[in-house]
Amino acid sequence: MSGIEWKKVSGELLILSLVEARPRHGYELSQLIEQRSGGAVRFYVASLYPLLYRLENRGWIQGRWVEKNGQRRRRYYRLTAQGRRVLAAQRRGWQVFVEAINRITEVEHA
Amino acid sequence: MPEKNRSQEPEAGSQKTDSSTTPDWRHEVSRRIAPLKLAPAREAEIVEELVQHLEDRYRELVSSGETEEEALGLALAELKGEGLLERGLRRVEKDAPREAVVLGADGGGGKRLLLASVWQDVRYGLRELRRNPGFTLIATFTLALGIGATAAIFSVVDGVLLKPLPYPHSEQLVATWLTAPGLNIKDLNPSPFIYFTLRDQNRSFEDLGLYTGVSRNITGHGEPEHVAGLDVTSGLLRTLGVRAMLGRPFTESDDEPGSPDTVMLTYGYWRRRFGGDRAVVGKTIIVDGSLRQIVGILPQNFSFGGPDLALIVPLQLDRAKTLLGNFSFDGIARLKPGVTIAEADADVARLVPVMLRSFAPPPGYTTKMFEDARIGPNLRPLRQDVVGDVGDVLWVLMGGIVLVLLIACANIANLLLVRAEGRRQELAIRSALGASQGRIAAQMLLEGFLLALLSSGLGLVLADVAVRALVAMAPTDLPRLNEIGMDGAVVLFTLVVSLFVTLLVGSMPVLKYAGASLGAGLREGGRSMTEGRGRHRSRATLVTVQVALALVLLVSSGLMIRTFRSLARVDPGFAAPSEVQTFRVDIPETQVKDPVQVVQVEQEILQKIGALPGVSSAGFSLSIPMDGNQWSDSVFAKDHNYAPEELPLHRYKFVAPGFFKTMGSPLIVGHDFTWGDMYNKAPVAIVSERLAREYWHDPGNAVGQQIRSSRKDDWREVIGVVGDVHDDGVDKPAPSSVYWPILVHFGGIDTMVTRWGAVSIRGPRAGSESFMNEVREVVSSVNPDLPLADVHTLGYYERTSMARTSFTLVMLALAGGMALLLGIVGLYGVISYSVSQRTHEIGIRATLGAQQSDILKLIVGQGFKLTLAGVTVGLAAALALTRFLSSLLFGVKATDPMTFIAVSLVLTGVALLACYIPARRAAKVDPMAALRYE
C-alpha cells in the first residue's frame, strides 16, 4: 500500500466509522474528526465533500436531505449495506497495517 | 430551470437567513465550482450543503470569541484557495450522474434514475395526501361518485347499445323486415310464403329462420304453468350459431309437418323446472295438453326471445298449404360474408314478384291486392331491432352523468388550486433548488393521478353496486338487461375516464403554478396578502362552469318532472288502477273443446270471484289496457263508403260483461254486453268515444249504427260507447277501438272464442298475496288444470307504461341533485376561501366605518355575480342541449320558460344561501383582530 493510498483509505475509514452508528451531516463529521483526534486530524470543506460524494458514488454511504422541526434541512449520510462490508474489510486491513507499523517501530525502539 | 431565475437564488437565500454583514458564502462556493458546469440541480445541491457548512463554521468561530474578520478568514480557509475544491469535485462528479435525492430536482439521464425519481414523487404525493386526510377523503369521494356513476351508466350503454349481440359474427345477423308502402305499412312482418321463397331462392343469406312468440301451458308436472315460448324453424338456431348444450338442436326434419312433436328447453327453465337433471333429455313433457319429447337444452347464454323464455317448439309450416298473407311472424337471417344489407335488400326485392307468383291468395283476396301493397325489402341489423329506440334515453343519461363528472372535476380542481396556493413557497424553493418546471408539473399531475387512481378504484366498487341497482330498477322493456354488467370494456372505460380526470384536475394547478411566476412566489415570501386577481379568476371561472352545468342538469330534471306531471294528469280511461287485480288464464282446446263451454267456464270463474269478500266487480277480456297485447284490424261502418283496397284499421278488443265496470271506464251512452249476448253470439259491438266521433261526430249518434269486421262479415249493431282508454300508454293517444263479445261469429264462417284472456277484479284487496290465494282456489275449483299467469294489478301496467319516463326522471333527478350539491359546495368553498383571504381588507373596511350590512352585501354580491354568470351561461347551454330530451318529453316543450325560470331562481336562491354563511362570518370579524392577524 503506497502512502497516498493509505492516506486515502484512512480518510474513507474515518468517515465510514463515524456514520456506522447513525447518520451524520458533513459539518458534524468534520467536527467529530477534529474533536476526537484532539485537533490532530482536520478535514476541510474542500476535501471533505469531494470525499463524501465519492463514497456516495460508490454506494458505500447514502446522503439524504432531512428536515428537522424548524431547522434548515441538512444532508445526512448513512452507511449502506455495501458500506458496512467495506468498513469491516478496511478495519481489518487497518489493524494489520497498524500492527505492522507497531512491530516495525517497536523493533526500532528496542 | 431558466438561467435568470437561478441567478436570483443566492440573494434570496442568504438575505433570508443572515445579517447584512454575513459574507456571501453562496457566491464563494458557486464561483469555485462553476467551471465544473454541473447539472443545475446538482450544483444547487452542492452549494446548499457547502454553504451550510461554512455558515455553521463561521457562527461557531464567532460564538467562540473570534472576531468577525478572523472567523471569516478561517471559514474561507476551509475552501483552501481557488482550485482544490474544483479538482476534488471534478474527479468525483465526472462519475456516473448521481441519483436525484432532492425532491423536485432533475434526476438526469438513466432509466433506473428516472424510475427512482418517479417512485420518489409517488411517495411524496402519497405523503401529501396522507398529510391532508380531510382533503383526500372529500376529493376521493367526490371523484369516486362522479367516476362510479359515469362507469355505471356506461356499463348500461355498453351492455345495451355498444356490445355486439352474444352470437358469433353477430354483425352478419339481420332482421328480415319488409315494407308495404301500398298499405301504408312501414314495417311489414315476414310471412311463411316469403320465408319459403327466400329460403329456397336467395343468393345473399347463409341461413335464415322464422319465429313467433307463443305462450304455452305446461301441465302434468305438479302445478300447471303458463310460460313464454317461441315457435321456430330449425334455421333460427343455425342462423344465430347456437348449439344445444345437451341433446341436439332442431333439424330440418323437426320442421316437417307431421313429424314427432319435439321441444327444446332454455337453460333457465331446465334448472328451475327440472333442477338441471341431465336425464330429462329424451323424456316427454305435456305442452298445451299434448306430449312433446325434449330433444335438447339450450346453452346458458342463449338470450334470444327475452329472459323469461322457457322453451322453443318447431314451427311446422306446410308449404303445400301456404297462401299469400299471414304477415305475423318475425324473421332473422345471416348475411353471407361480404354481402351488404343493400345487396341483400336488392336480392329480396328481386324475389318479391317470384313469391307473389308462387303462392295462391287466400279466399276473398286477389294476387293484385298483394301487388298493390308494393311489398319491398326492409332488412336491418338485428342489433338495431333488439335495441330499438332506447338509445335516446341512455345517451341523455350518459350526457347528464358526464356533466356531473365535470362538475366534480371542477370542484376538485378548485380544491387543488387552493392547496397549490398554500404551497407556492414550497414550490418556489424547489424551483430555486433546481427542480425543472417539467419536474414540478409532473409532480403536481402525479398528485392528481394518485387522487384519480384512488377515486377510480373506489368508483369501480360504487359502479358495481350502482349497476346492480340500475339493472334492478331499469324499465323492464330495456333490452339486453341481462347483458349489462361490469366487464373489461367498463374497466377500460373507467381507466380512460380516470386519465381524463387526472389531466383535467391535475393540469389546473400545473397551468397556474408551475409556470413562470415562481420567482414571484419566492419574493412574496409567503406574506399573506389579498391574493392576485389572476389566481382568483381561475377559481371563479371553475365555479361559474359548475353553476352552469348544474343548471343544465336541473333544467333537464325539471323538464322530466313536468313531463311526469303531465302524464299523471292524463286520464288513462280507467279508475283507481291499484285496486284492480288482473291475471291471465288459458283454456286450451285440449281441456275444453266446445267454445260455448269455454264461455261457461269463464262466466263461472267470474261469478265465483265476484262472490269473494270485498270484490265489487270482475271482468274478462282478451287484454288488459297497456299490457302490450295490441290487435288492430279493419272496421267498416254501414253508412260510410270505402275505396276497394282501403283498410280502415282500429284496435280490436274482446270483452265479457262487467269488464268496463271493473276497469272504471264510463259508458257514455248505451249499455254493456250481457251474458246472453255472448251465448247467443248476438251481432252487437261497443265502440270507443274516439271511434264514435271519427265516424259519427258525436257519441250520441253512434248507438244503433251498423259496423262489421270485414267486407264479408255480418253487420253488427253498436249498443254502447265507452270512454277512451290510453291502451298504448298515457303518453300515446288513445286508439279508436271496437269491443266485441268474447264469443263471436266473424264473417259467419268461424266461431271465435277468447280462450287466452285476462281476468280483472276490482276490490280493495287487489295486489295482496292472500287475495290471490283465494282467487287461485276459486279458479282451481272450477278447473284444476288452468294455469294462472301474469298476476299484476292494473296499476302495474300503468306504471310499466311510464317506466321509461320515470327511470329517466329518477336518473336525471339524481344527477341534478348531485350537480346541485357539488356546485353549491364549490361556490361555498370559493366564497369561504375568499373571505378568509380578505380578512385583513374587511378589517380595514370595518375600521373605516363599513357596517356589517355593507360587508354582507360585499361578500354575497361577489357570490351573486358568480352565480349570475353561471346561470346565464347555463341557460344558454340548456337552451342548446335540452332539445336532445325532446323525444322523452310529454306535454312540455324542451324550452319550457316556466322550467327555465323556476330552476334559475331556485339555483340562485340556494347559491346565495351558500354565500350568506361565509358572508355572515366576514361581517362579524372584529376589525382589531383582523388587523392584528397580519
Please provide the DSSP assignment of B762-816 as one string. Answer: ESTTTT-HHHHHHHHHHHHHH-TTPPEEEEEEHHHHHHHHTHHHHHHHHHHHHHH
Determine the pLDDT at residue B428.
Answer: 67
Are B17 and A72 an interchain contact pair (Cβ–Cβ within 8 Å)?
Answer: yes
Could you give the CA distance from residue B149 to residue B464 in angstroms, rounded to a whole number?
A: 10
Are B98 and A57 an interchain contact pair (Cβ–Cβ within 8 Å)?
Answer: yes
Could you give the CA distance from residue B270 to residue B31 in angstroms, rounded to a whole number?
A: 89
Are B92 and A26 an interchain contact pair (Cβ–Cβ within 8 Å)?
Answer: no
Provide the shortest C-alpha distance from residue B28 to chain A (in Å): 12
Q: What is the mean pLDDT of residues B576-584?
A: 92
All cell numbers assigned to B751: 266461431
Name chain B contacts of A72, Cβ cutoff 8 Å. 17, 52
Please list the helix, strand and coil fractions of chain A in percent, rounded to the nearest 5, in that order: 65, 15, 20
Residue B932 has pLDDT above 70, yes or no: no
Nearest by CB to A46, from B17, B84, B91: name it.
B84
Are B78 and A56 an interchain contact pair (Cβ–Cβ within 8 Å)?
Answer: no
Q: What is the mean pLDDT of residues B900-911?
A: 91
Architecture of the domain delimited by A3-105: Orthogonal Bundle (1.10)
Q: What is the mean pLDDT of residues B481-502?
A: 83
Name chain A contacts of B101, Cβ cutoff 8 Å. 63-65, 75
ipTM > 0.95, yes or no: no
pLDDT in tens, A38-88: 877 788 888 889 889 989 888 899 988 887 776 778 899 999 988 898 888
Residue B857 has pLDDT above 70, yes or no: yes
Nearest by CB to B80, from A26, A44, A56: name it.
A44
Residue B224 has pLDDT above 60, yes or no: yes
Q: Which of B174, B242, B160 is nearest to B480 (CA)?
A: B160
Determine the pLDDT at residue B741.
Answer: 92
Pick the residue from chain B with its C-alpha nearest to A44: B78
Between β-strands B262-265 and B290-297, what pairing exists: parallel, antiparallel or unpaired? parallel
Provide the shortest C-alpha distance from residue A64 to chain B (in Å): 6
Nearest by CB to B50, from A45, A47, A56: name it.
A45
Residue B425 has pLDDT above 60, yes or no: yes
Say what the alpha-carbon torsion angle B48, B54, B59, B61 is, to the nearest 10 degrees: 170
Residues of chain B above pLDDT 90, percent? 26
pLDDT in tens, B750-793: 678 888 889 999 999 988 889 999 999 999 899 888 888 888 99
Provide the shortest C-alpha distance from residue A96 to chain B (in Å): 29
Q: What is the mean pLDDT of residues B489-512?
A: 81
Pick the residue from chain A with its C-alpha nearest to B47: A49
Determine the pLDDT at residue B2.
Answer: 40
Average pLDDT, chain B: 82
What pTM, to 2 d.p., does this model score? 0.64
Pick the residue from chain B with its C-alpha nearest to A27: B53
Are A50 and B88 an interchain contact pair (Cβ–Cβ within 8 Å)?
Answer: yes
Which residue, chain included where needed, has cell 378568509?
B836
Which residue, chain included where needed, has cell 454506494?
A59
Name chain B contacts of A56, Cβ cutoff 8 Å. 98
Determine the pLDDT at residue B931.
Answer: 61
Nearest by CB to B79, from A46, A54, A64: name it.
A46
Are B56 and A27 an interchain contact pair (Cβ–Cβ within 8 Å)?
Answer: yes
Are A65 and B101 an interchain contact pair (Cβ–Cβ within 8 Å)?
Answer: yes
B305 DSSP assignment: T
| Candidate from B286-290, B369-373, B429-433, B878-882 with smallest mean pLDDT | B429-433
Provide the shortest C-alpha distance from residue A82 to chain B (in Å): 17
All cell numbers assigned to B884: 336532445
Nearest by CB to A46, from B52, B78, B96: name it.
B78
Are A75 and B49 an interchain contact pair (Cβ–Cβ within 8 Å)?
Answer: yes
Q: Please report, for chain A, the start and end positions of each structural domain, with discontinuous segments joined by +.
A: 3-105
Name chain B contacts of A45, Cβ cutoff 8 Å. 50, 53-54, 78-80, 85
Residues of A with CB under 8 A from a CB of B: 26-27, 30, 44-51, 53-54, 56-57, 63-65, 72, 74-75
Are A46 and B85 an interchain contact pair (Cβ–Cβ within 8 Å)?
Answer: yes
Determine the pLDDT at residue B333.
Answer: 94
Q: Which of B616, B583, B660, B624 is nearest to B763 (CA)?
A: B616
Could you give the CA distance from residue B681 to residue B475 in angstroms, rounded to a whole number?
A: 41
Residue A90 has pLDDT above 80, yes or no: yes
Provide the shortest C-alpha distance from residue B80 to chain A (in Å): 6
Say what the alpha-carbon torsion angle B759, B765, B771, B775 is, to the nearest 10 degrees: -20
Residue B934 has pLDDT above 70, yes or no: no
Q: What is the mean pLDDT of residues B907-923?
A: 86
Name chain A contacts of B102, Cβ cutoff 8 Å. 65
Q: Which of B163, B141, B823, B136 is nearest to B462 (CA)?
A: B141
Name chain B contacts of A48, Cβ cutoff 8 Å. 53
| Candidate from A62-76, B240-254, B324-338 with smallest mean pLDDT | A62-76
Q: Which of B170, B189, B193 is nearest to B179 (CA)?
A: B189
Q: What is the mean pLDDT of residues B366-389?
A: 86
Chosen for mutation from B32, B36, B42, B49 (greatest number of chain A CBs closer than 10 Å) is B49
- B48: number of CA atoms within 13 Å, CB side? 23
- For B646, phi then psi, to 5°, come to -70, 135
Are A46 and B96 an interchain contact pair (Cβ–Cβ within 8 Å)?
Answer: no
Provide the shortest C-alpha distance from residue A94 to chain B (in Å): 24
Residue B20 has pLDDT above 60, yes or no: no
Nearest by CB to B78, from A45, A63, A75: name it.
A45
Provide the shortest C-alpha distance from residue A91 to chain B (in Å): 24
| Candidate from B64-78, B411-425, B568-582, B683-697 with smallest mean pLDDT | B411-425
Nearest-Å Rg of the Cα atoms of chain A is 16
Separation in Å, CA B470 to CA B152, B304, B465, B791: 8, 22, 9, 24
pLDDT in tens, B260-302: 999 999 999 999 888 889 999 999 998 888 899 999 999 988 8
Separation in Å, CA B863 to CA B64, B177, B830, B902: 61, 59, 9, 20
Residue A25 has pLDDT above 50, yes or no: yes
Determine the pLDDT at residue B108.
Answer: 42
Residues of B with CB under 8 A from a CB of A: 17, 45-46, 49-50, 52-54, 56-57, 77-81, 84-85, 88-89, 91-93, 95-96, 98, 101-103
Name chain A contacts of B98, Cβ cutoff 8 Å. 53, 56-57
pLDDT in tens, B24-57: 888 888 888 888 888 888 888 888 888 888 888 8
Nearest by CB to A57, from B57, B95, B103: name it.
B95
Are A27 and B52 an interchain contact pair (Cβ–Cβ within 8 Å)?
Answer: yes
Residue B651 has pLDDT above 70, yes or no: yes
Binned at pLDDT 50, 70 and 90, residue B519 comes out as very low
Name chain A contacts of B53, Cβ cutoff 8 Å. 26-27, 30, 45, 48-49
- The segment with the largest mean pLDDT, out of A39-53, A83-97, B228-242, B482-496, is B228-242
Element (H, E) at B508: helix B488-513
Name chain A contacts of B77, Cβ cutoff 8 Å. 44
Residue B493 has pLDDT above 70, yes or no: yes
Provide the shortest C-alpha distance from residue B501 to chain A (in Å): 33
Q: What is the mean pLDDT of residues B178-193?
A: 85
Separation in Å, CA B112 to CA A58, A70, B118: 16, 33, 10
Provide the shortest C-alpha distance from residue A100 to chain B (in Å): 31
Q: What is the mean pLDDT of residues B879-897?
A: 87
